[in-house]
Chains A and B, each alone.
Chain A
Amino acid sequence: MTEIRDRIPAAEPLNRAPLMALAWLWVLAPFGYGAYELLVKIPALFGS
């Protein structure tokens, strides 16, 4: 049992790559939408 536990940490970082990608996508996708909606308004500031 102890041996199995000792082996887990070495394998875990690779297994968490999809979780890492999903977690960042989860927050960056809506953030990207908001940033795009914001950026399209800025040109009007320099057009007047």
Chain B
Amino acid sequence: MAVGFLARSRIVAPAGWSRWLVPPAALSVHLAIGQAYSWSVFKPALEKSLGINGTLSAIPFELAIVMLGVSAALFGTRVERNGPRWAMFVATCCFSSGFLVSALGVATRQYWLVILGYGVIGGIGLGIGYISPVSTLIKWFPDRPGMATGIAIMGFGGGALIASPWSAQMLNAFGVTTAAAGQGTAGIAKAFLIHGLVYAVFMSMGWLLVRVPAEGWKPAGWDPSVVQSRTLVTTANVSARNAIRTPQFWCLWVVLCLNVTAGIGILEKAAPIYQDFFPTATSKAALASAAAGFVAILSLANMSGRFIWSSASDRIGRKNIYRCYLGIGALLYLAIVLTTNANKVVFLVCTLLIISFYGAGFATVPAYLRDLFGTFEVGAIHGRLLTAWSTAGVLGPLIVNAIADAQTRAGQTGPAKYILSFSIMIGLLVVGFVANELIRPVEPKFHEPAAPRGAASLAERGMP
């Protein structure tokens, strides 16, 4: 149990504390750990200076994403018990020290230290940091949980947006991009060191500012019975241990896994997909710039979808919004398969919507969990559900890359290389749609006994 400054009892909000101070606390953590998606900026520099290949330079990122899922699942209950300040502090320490260990690894040319630092230590920071504000935001915004978690998880999408140009400019300033092969390790080490220190300061805002609402607090003028009258929204609570025994959890696991897999189908190879669909630019450089513009606009759709669609779910309901992500997503993929490159506007609209649904799938799922399992251990349940993300992170790229490579070997060119993999994505989205349809309210046998358990748990947490 966390003690002293980090204890949950120390961060119970006093009367008059504005709940709008909690989203920036959450964002300062998510905008930082979202840096993970910009790891590719470091790859060419590491490959050139340390003489490693692309597979090896990708390991720290891949391991970090696996550790995200594993640590969120393993430490979810502890995060819930110790509170958001403890979780954000631990995430800050792990994420920042991951960079510092990596800096040491590059400076001493010991690549295993980069894998250990960024992949393992930093990856644990990703997992704990990702789930750290979720439960707190849901408790502060019981009237708009989709919007609240949408803001935080949009931050994770926005992290790479900040880190990509920042890291690239730093590597350039330290002479890494112009260094000869085998040189430039000092510049990369310096960049890692600065990243570690800056992120430590930036994330501090999170654990200094975060507060939990006092017991019994609710937003002024909010009537809980309005939300709880919806079919899937429960008034009961389910523990994380019991949640994974319910079919609802596993249906949602399949929904998240397949929605993410389908999104990665485009996101993973966005630049080559664009170049294969529209290779008509005046020069190679113009084509590369257009592809970079396509990647940029997809990032914007990924990020804004997290906020817009997740906020919309507060109005139209979680099950309905996932029907849109999965059902309309399948139709959009079908439109691409049928029209291929006949119309650029249709292609852009379809891909942007698919990626906005991909991001929204992440952002809406904590509120869906709250609806099904209550607020009791929603952060811990969310942590366990994130193993679906780790699985999809392997499954999605595997499908798209393996099929694209096989099609290339078979002599296919242009859009034809992707028709089969996009058709598979349609099938996956339909399976996800069926899994979403199977979600029903959780049976009462899984509910926590109302008074005794609730009272004990609050006492354990040191709440008044």
Residue of A nearest to B25 (CB): A23
- Give bound CA distance, A27 to B31, whole Å: 8
Q: Is the CB of B161 within 8 A of A27?
A: no
Q: Is the CB of A12 within 8 A of B294?
A: no
Q: Report B-chain residues with C-beta under 8 Å of the C-beta of A10.
A: 16
Q: Contacts A16-B21, A34-B165 known; A42 to B28 CB distance under 8 Å?
A: no
Q: Report A-chain residues with C-beta under 8 Å of the C-beta of B16.
A: 8-10, 12-13, 16
Name the one of A9, A16, A33, A41 contacting B296, with C-beta atoms under 8 angstroms.
Answer: A41
Name the one of A26, A37, A45, A48 contacting B282, with C-beta atoms under 8 angstroms.
Answer: A48
Q: How far is the CB of B124 from chain A (nearest CB, A)?
A: 23
Q: Is the CB of A34 within 8 A of B161?
A: yes
Chain A 16-46, CB-CB to B under 8 Å as 1, else 0, gives: 1001100110110011011101110111111
Residue of B nearest to A35 (CB): B161
- Give bound CA distance, A43 to B294, whole Å: 10
- Which segment, of B135-143, B285-293, B385-393, faces chain A? B285-293
Decide yes or no whether B209 CB sits under 8 A from chain A.
yes
Q: How far is the CB of B231 from chain A (nearest CB, A)?
A: 36
Chain B 295-309, CB-CB to A under 8 Å as 1, else 0, gives: 111011000000000
- Give bound CA distance, A44 to B18, whole Å: 42
Q: Is the CB of A27 within 8 A of B28?
A: yes
Q: How far is the CB of A2 from chain B (nearest CB, A)?
A: 13
Q: How far is the CB of A41 from chain B (nearest CB, A)?
A: 4
Q: Contacts A34-B161, A38-B161, A47-B290 known; A12 to B17 CB distance under 8 Å?
A: yes
Q: Report B-chain residues with C-beta under 8 Å of the C-beta of A30.
A: 31, 162, 202
Q: Report A-chain residues with C-beta under 8 Å of the C-beta of B28.
A: 26-27
Q: Contacts A27-B155, A41-B292 known; A47 to B164 CB distance under 8 Å?
A: no
Q: Report B-chain residues with C-beta under 8 Å of the C-beta of A42.
A: 293, 296-297, 300
Decide yes or no whether B24 CB sits under 8 A from chain A.
yes
Q: Report A-chain residues with C-beta under 8 Å of the C-beta of B299.
A: 38
- Give bound CA distance, A12 to B21, whole Å: 13
Name the one of A19, A20, A37 contacting B161, with C-beta atoms under 8 angstroms.
Answer: A37
Residue of A nearest to B294 (CB): A45
Q: Is the CB of B293 within 8 A of A45?
A: yes
Decide yes or no whether B338 CB sits under 8 A from chain A.
no
Q: Report B-chain residues with C-beta under 8 Å of the C-beta of A39.
A: 296
Name the one of A16, A27, A47 contacting B286, with C-beta atoms under 8 angstroms.
Answer: A47
- Give bound CA distance, A41 to B292, whole Å: 7
Residue of B nearest to A30 (CB): B162
Q: How far is the CB of B228 from chain A (nearest CB, A)?
A: 28
Q: Report A-chain residues with C-beta under 8 Å of the C-beta of B209.
A: 19, 23
Q: Is the CB of A31 within 8 A of B14?
A: no
Q: Is the CB of A20 within 8 A of B290?
A: no
Name the one of B162, B287, B293 contacting A31, with C-beta atoms under 8 angstroms.
Answer: B162
Q: Contacts A8-B14, A30-B31, A34-B161 known; A44 to B24 CB distance under 8 Å?
A: no
Q: Report B-chain residues with C-beta under 8 Å of the C-beta of A24.
A: 24
Q: Is the CB of B24 within 8 A of A26?
A: yes
Decide yes or no whether B278 CB sits under 8 A from chain A.
yes
Residue of A nearest to B204 (CB): A26
Q: Contacts A38-B299, A41-B292, A41-B296 known; A20 to B286 CB distance under 8 Å?
A: no
Q: B residues touching A (Cβ–Cβ < 8 Å)?
A: 14-18, 20-21, 24-25, 27-28, 31, 155, 158, 161-166, 202, 205, 209, 278, 280-282, 286-287, 289-290, 292-297, 299-300
Supply 15 A–B pairs (Cβ within 8 Å), ascending by A: A8-B14, A9-B15, A12-B16, A16-B21, A30-B202, A31-B158, A34-B166, A38-B296, A39-B296, A42-B296, A45-B290, A45-B293, A47-B286, A47-B289, A48-B289
Using A27-B28, A44-B292 as known contacts, list a sample of 17 further A-B pairs with CB atoms less than 8 Å apart, ordered by residue number in A: A12-B16, A23-B24, A27-B27, A33-B162, A33-B165, A34-B164, A34-B166, A37-B165, A38-B161, A41-B296, A42-B296, A44-B290, A44-B293, A45-B297, A48-B286, A48-B287, A48-B289
